[in-house]
């Protein structure tokens, strides 16, 4: 007996594997809502923001209204969304610009997550609802001028003085630093690495912006100076002890990057595909040349695989949970491949690929930062190496 099967529909040129069908109605709704915001608010303006090196402060409230700040956190007026919904939001934000996704990641996955996981009840009530609404902005100070990949060596020090803490040190490359109302500052102490909630109005705290960046220009990056900042005992995050505190926050943000990078890659691929179909050379569209088709096909493969990987890791995170090395697997692969897609897309656009008239070089430059922050590609390679061999090769 033979069975007849319906003929499979022709695959979409962007969602080639039909991953849309793997999402629930609720997940699709989140995705479409964020996609609509990016289409209406970000895309018409982001090239100018990038060129001028600004991120309008009012975006914070808008992203709060959209429900993407602290999106996957429960309680304290946070949406309590699934890991998949949060990932989809990151993907759509970064399809617009990595700077916008970075804002949401730092606010939600680094600053708010640190308070949510390690804070006292009083700290959570004080900060989380207004941060979820985007009324108050947070930043996350781990990196220092002399300690990037190896934050364990940090020099910022928290000294006990009676019941107070006195913080001294410098933090470098801090996203949202000069627009923040509160800085989560990680500092060494006689009791090891501790975390502090530092109101940016505290005497002795200052933030100055890092200029002349050619990447993540629609994102504020600052240096924080802590010059004997005196804090009451209640400013310490009571449940954070040791480097595992900041590393667990980074794990959350890295998860969002796994999705976000594929958003940037999707924009680059779709832009290159459209351009190739309309740009005529030698009396035919450049999409008709074999070399262009090979480029597009390879981009399609990595976009499909990377998005599938994000979805798989998201389902794991919503289920039994993700090991940090599995997060490294996703971050390493998806950012590396997104950057390769962006660079290839750039070549397809020819000279047009080097201007801000098209989104490609903006994404390409942004992804250079994404490759470096939240653990460089080399660090994630070493995490995987250690996990599979049992031998640490970091030093």
Ligand X SMILES: Cc1cc2nc3c(=O)[nH]c(=O)nc-3n(C[C@H](O)[C@H](O)[C@H](O)COP(=O)(O)OP(=O)(O)OC[C@H]3O[C@@H](n4cnc5c(N)ncnc54)[C@H](O)[C@@H]3O)c2cc1C
In the complex, which residues of this chain contact ligand X (CB under 6 A)? 106, 140-143, 148-149, 173-175, 216, 221, 369, 372-373, 376, 378-379, 394
| In the complex, minimum distance from the CB of residue 219 to ligand X, in angstroms, rounded to a whole number | 6
| In the complex, minimum distance from the CB of residue 379 to ligand X, in angstroms, rounded to a whole number | 6
DSSP secondary structure string, 92-103? Answer: HHHHH-HHHHHH
DSSP H/E element including 196? strand 194-199
Does 121 qualify as catalytic in the annotation? no
Q: Which residues pair with 182 in a beta bridge?
A: 138, 199
Q: Cβ(188)–Cβ(167) under 8 Å? A: no
Q: Which residues pair with 184 in a beta bridge?
A: 140, 197
Q: Cβ(203)–Cβ(215) under 8 Å? A: no
| In the complex, minimum distance from the CB of residue 136 to ligand X, in angstroms, rounded to a whole number | 16
Q: Cβ(73)–Cβ(80) under 8 Å? A: yes
| In the complex, minimum distance from the CB of residue 322 to ligand X, in angstroms, rounded to a whole number | 20
Q: Cβ(71)–Cβ(81) under 8 Å? A: yes
**Structure-derived torsion over alpha carbons of residues 168, 143, 145, 229, reported in degrees to the nearest 10:** -10
| In the complex, minimum distance from the CB of residue 108 to ligand X, in angstroms, rounded to a whole number | 13
| Closest-approach residue to ligand X (CB) | 148
Structure tokens that stand for 307 in this block: 């998005």
Q: Closer CB to ligand X, residue 132 or residue 370?
A: 370
Pairing relationship of beta strands 182-187 and 138-141 according to DSSP bridges: parallel
Q: Cβ(265)–Cβ(303) under 8 Å? A: yes
| In the complex, minimum distance from the CB of residue 6 to ligand X, in angstroms, rounded to a whole number | 49
Tell me the residue length of the chain.
395
DSSP 8-class letter at 170: E
| In the complex, minimum distance from the CB of residue 376 to ligand X, in angstroms, rounded to a whole number | 3
**Structure-derived torsion over alpha carbons of residues 151, 378, 90, 141, reported in degrees to the nearest 10:** 10
Helix (H, G, I), strand (E, B) or coil at 31: helix
Q: Closer CB to ligand X, residue 298 or residue 372?
A: 372
Q: Closer CB to ligand X, residue 216 or residue 262?
A: 216
**Structure-derived torsion over alpha carbons of residues 58, 365, 223, 134, reported in degrees to the nearest 10:** 20
Q: Residue 357's CB: how many other CB atoms inside 10 A?
A: 11
Q: Closer CB to ligand X, residue 149 or residue 248?
A: 149
DSSP 8-class letter at 350: G
| In the complex, minimum distance from the CB of residue 295 to ligand X, in angstroms, rounded to a whole number | 27
CA atoms within 13 A of residue 142's CA, in its CB half-sphere: 23
Which is the catalytic residue, given 126, 302, 374, 378? 374
CA distance 395 to 393: 6
Cα 383 versus chain centre, distance = 19
Nearest one of 59, 229, 243 to 137, comparing CA atoms: 59
Q: Closer CB to ligand X, residue 46 or residue 216?
A: 216
Active site residues: 374
């Amino acid at each position: 007996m033979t069975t007849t099967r319906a003929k499979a529909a022709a695959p979409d040129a962007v969602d080639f594997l039909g991953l849309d069908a793997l999402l629930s109605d609720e997940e699709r709704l989140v995705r479409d809502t964020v996609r609509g915001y990016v289409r209406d608010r970000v895309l018409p303006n982001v090239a100018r923001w990038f060129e001028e090196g600004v991120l309008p402060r009012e975006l914070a409230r808008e992203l709060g209204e959209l429900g993407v700040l602290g999106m996957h956190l429960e309680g304290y007026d946070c949406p309590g969304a699934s890991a998949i919904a949060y990932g989809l939001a990151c993907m759509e934000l970064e399809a617009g610009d990595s700077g916008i996704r970075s804002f949401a990641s730092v606010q939600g996955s680094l600053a708010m997550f640190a308070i949510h996981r390690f804070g006292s009840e009083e700290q959570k009530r004080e900060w989380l609802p207004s941060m979820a609404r985007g009324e108050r902005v947070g930043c996350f100070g781990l990196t220092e001028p002399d300690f990037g990949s190896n934050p364990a060596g940090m020099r910022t020090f928290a000294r006990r003085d009676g019941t107070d803490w006195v913080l001294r040190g410098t933090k470098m490359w801090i996203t949202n630093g000069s627009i923040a109302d509160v800085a989560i500052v990680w500092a060494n102490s006689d009791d090891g690495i501790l975390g502090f909630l530092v109101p940016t109005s505290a005497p002795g705290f200052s933030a100055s912006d890092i200029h002349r960046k050619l990447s993540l220009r629609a994102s504020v990056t600052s240096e924080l100076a802590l010059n004997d900042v005196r804090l009451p005992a209640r400013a310490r995050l009571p449940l954070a002890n040791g480097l595992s505190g900041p590393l667990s926050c980074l794990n959350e943000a890295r998860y969002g990057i796994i999705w976000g990078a594929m958003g940037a890659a999707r924009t680059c691929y779709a832009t290159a595909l459209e351009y190739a179909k309309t740009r005529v050379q030698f009396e035919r569209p450049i999409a008709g040349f074999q070399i262009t088709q090979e480029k597009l096909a390879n981009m399609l493969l990595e976009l499909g695989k990377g998005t599938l990987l994000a979805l798989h890791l998201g389902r794991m995170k919503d289920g039994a949970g993700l090991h940090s090395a599995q997060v490294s697997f996703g971050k390493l692969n998806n950012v590396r491949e997104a950057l390769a897609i962006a660079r290839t897309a750039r070549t397809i656009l020819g000279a047009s690929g080097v201007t801000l008239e098209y989104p490609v070089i903006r994404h390409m430059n942004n992804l250079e930062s994404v490759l470096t922050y939240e653990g460089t590609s080399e660090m994630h390679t070493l995490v995987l190496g250690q996990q599979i061999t049992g031998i640490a090769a970091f030093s």
